[in-house]
Amino acid sequence: MLLEDIYKNAKVVNSGKAWTTVNEFTDQIPALRPEVLMEVAHEIIKCMDLSVSKIVTEEDKGAALATTVSLLTGIPLAMARWYSYSLSDINEQVVNIQSEYFDGVVYLNGVDVGDRVTIIDDTLSTGGTIIALARAVSGAGGELVDVVCAVEKVENNGFKNVKSQTGVEAKTLMKIMVREEGVSVIS
């Protein structure tokens, strides 16, 4: 799998809170090859619940992957943003987010009452992004059905945090451990 090779060769930096990777898949350093994105998207599709009516992600690192999955499945995509549109006639959900990379507020539009949702993201680390998106989905009147992330940084307990906060067991394609010395692919 191309994703495994990318992480085995990833550079490691300190984000200020934790050791993290800089790599082709999440940071486009070097530029993200379409074959990597397609391979990961196809693997996500194999394990996700396809009976949902919406895919939700955030506009940063998960956007390319969730967009590709949306295009391949025909499932509409709603993307959480870091800013508001301030329109009075939309069901905008505003939730706090605390993650490995960002503390603040995220805004979700495009999820309607009764929508069944899968959250897709590139990396499950602390679970902060997934938990914030789950709260936004619930606030909009949607039902969180599934969470699928390409990579899980096991040292940050994101799987456990997401399960305890949302009741959903996140699915991941690959588990890694990130340390100052580098990245270890666990599975």
Instruction: Please write down the long-range contacts of 27-34, taking CB distance under 8 Å and 24 or more positions apart.
Output: 27/61, 32/64, 33/2
- In this predicted structure, the answer to whether residue 184 has a pLDDT above a threshold of 90 is yes
DSSP one-letter code for 61: T
Cβ count within 10 A of residue 113: 9
pLDDT range class, residue 73, cuts 50, 70, 90: very high
Integer CA distances (angstroms), 51 to 41, 130, 164, in order: 17, 20, 24
Q: Where are the beta strands (DSSP E) in 23-159?
A: 54-58, 77-80, 93-98, 103-108, 116-124, 143-153
Higher pLDDT, 15 or 167: 167
- Per-residue model confidence (pLDDT) at position 16: 79
Q: Of 48, 53, 44, 45, whose CA–CA distance to 116 is shortest?
A: 53
- 169: buried, middle or exposed (CB in 10 Å: 19+, 13-18, 0-12)? exposed
Least confident range of 43-47, 57-61, 170-174: 57-61
- In this predicted structure, the answer to whether residue 21 has a pLDDT above a threshold of 80 is yes
116 phi-psi bin (left φ>0, alpha ψ -120 to 50, beta other):
beta
Topology annotation, domain 2-185: Rossmann fold (3.40.50)
Mean pLDDT of 79-95: 88
Mean pLDDT of 10-20: 88
pLDDT range class, residue 99, cuts 50, 70, 90: confident
Cβ count within 10 A of residue 142: 26
H or E segment and range at residue 67? helix 63-73
| Mean pLDDT of all residues belonging to the chain | 95
134-166 tens-digit pLDDT: 999 999 999 999 999 999 999 999 999 999 999
Q: Are 155 and 22 in contact (CB under 8 A)?
A: no
- Per-residue model confidence (pLDDT) at position 101: 76
- In this predicted structure, the answer to whether residue 179 has a pLDDT above a threshold of 80 is yes
- Per-residue model confidence (pLDDT) at position 30: 96
What type of residue is 89? D
Residues 118 and 123: their CA atoms lie apart, in Å, by: 15
